């Protein structure tokens, strides 16, 4: 039975941005609803608690799509509360899809960005990574930018919240001081997904890997790959093989994984507590041992 498009709920948002009537809706979580439209097309409707978060995600998806390198759901539209995208029918991960994902990531990163920290066109400077604020301030100096805008803000928040002690924070601060020597060869700004953990990789029924929920910005390409390592990814070695065939990584990149994992680990420490703070300290000690 066709449902009403009146009001301000997810079905109304789907109707407004697709121009099609809504036949049914299915709540998947507190923020995500699957809406079936007239004719059988299914879209995902995501509720955002901050207009900047919705705008940042929509701009990020479009920026990734513009590269023509990776598969992302089409954006039908958004307002200050709702984002409407295509649904990706899911399948199973496969080695072939993983190799294609690696090739696509290499091509995406090579598309580049105007600067480290550059926001996607139309995206806000004050954006989000997951539920955590993330500032997109531009720089041409990756070590300085990474310390100032991707590590230290979350380190200070973790200390203020009592998740990390000041004496422990000093270890991460030493990594930031040594970043110019720990960062490896200079790299140009890459076009990053920015929150590339396994949960944001959908293995589609079409045999392709699709990327969702970006925190897109200009950054160092090793950061995306470090996130895939952090939380695991099916057939990760195949992803890396596909990547290296297109764009070989600089020598020593595996040793620098901990440097790039400091950012997401500290974000998770701020959001989810001490367990991730311990992992961040382990990554910091690993980086200092280089």
Q: Tokens in use for 143?
A: 């070590």
Residue 1 CA neighbour count, 13 Å, CB half:
2
Residue 4 is predicted with a pLDDT of 55
**Per residue in 35-91, pLDDT tens?**
999 999 999 999 998 999 999 999 999 999 999 999 999 999 999 999 999 999 999
d(CA 179, CA 177): 6
Place of tokens 């995206």: 123
pLDDT digits (tens, 9 = 90+) for 94-113: 999 999 999 999 999 999 99
Q: If pLDDT is split at 50, 70 and 90, which confidence band does 268 have? A: very high
Pick the closest to residue 242 from 142, 113, 111, 109 (CA basis): 109
The reported pLDDT for the residue numbered 231 is: 87
Rg (CA), the chain: 19
209-211 vs 190-192, strand pairing mode: unpaired
Residue 56, φ and ψ in degrees, nearest 5: -65, -45
The chain-wide mean pLDDT, for the chain, equals 95
pLDDT of residue 2: 58
Dump pLDDT digits (tens) for 215-238.
999 999 999 999 999 988 999 999
Of 175, 194, 192, 163, nearest in space to 278 by CA: 163
Task: Give the Cβ contact number of residue 166 at 10 Å.
Answer: 8
Residue 8 has pLDDT above 90, yes or no: no
DSSP per position, 191-243 = EE-S---GGGEEEBTTS-EEE-S---EEE-HHHHHHHHHHH--TTHHHHHHHH
Write the pLDDT tens digit of every residue in 137-170. Answer: 999 999 999 999 999 999 999 999 999 999 999 9
Q: How many CA atoms lie within 13 A of 113 on its CB side?
A: 31
Work out the end-to-end distance of the chain between its first and last CA atoms, rounded to an integer number of angstroms: 62
pTM over 0.85: yes
Q: Are 188 and 112 in contact (CB under 8 A)?
A: yes
The answer to whether the CB of 62 falls within 8 A of the CB of 1 is no
């Amino acid at each position: 039975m066709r449902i009403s498009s009146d009001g301000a709920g997810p079905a109304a948002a789907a109707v407004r941005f697709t121009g099609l009537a809504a036949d049914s809706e299915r709540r998947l979580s507190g923020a995500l609803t699957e809406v079936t439209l007239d004719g059988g097309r299914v879209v995902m409707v995501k509720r955002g608690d901050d207009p900047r978060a919705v705008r940042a995600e929509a701009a990020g998806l479009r920026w990734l799509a513009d590269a023509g390198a990776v598969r992302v759901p089409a954006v039908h539209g958004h307002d200050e509360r709702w984002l409407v995208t295509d649904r990706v029918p899911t399948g199973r991960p496969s080695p072939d899809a993983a190799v294609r994902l690696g090739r696509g990531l290499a091509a995406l990163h090579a598309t580049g960005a105007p600067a480290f920290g550059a926001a996607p066109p139309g995206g806000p400077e004050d954006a989000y990574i997951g539920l955590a604020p993330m500032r997109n301030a531009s720089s041409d100096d990756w070590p300085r930018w990474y310390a100032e805008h991707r590590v230290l803000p979350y380190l200070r928040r973790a200390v203020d919240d009592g998740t990390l002690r000041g004496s422990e924070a000093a270890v991460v601060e030493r990594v930031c001081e040594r970043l110019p020597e720990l960062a490896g060869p200079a790299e140009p700004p890459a076009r990053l997904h920015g929150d590339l953990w396994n949960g944001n990789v959908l293995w589609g029924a079409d045999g392709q890997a699709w990327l969702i929920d970006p925190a897109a910005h200009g950054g160092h390409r090793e950061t995306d790959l470090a996130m895939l390592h952090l939380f695991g990814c099916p057939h990760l070695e195949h992803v890396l093989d596909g990547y290296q065939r297109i764009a070989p990584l600089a020598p020593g990149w595996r040793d620098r994984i901990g440097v790039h994992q400091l950012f997401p680990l500290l974000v998770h420490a701020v959001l989810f507590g001490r367990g991730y703070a311990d992992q961040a300290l382990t990554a910091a000690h690993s980086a200092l041992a280089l």
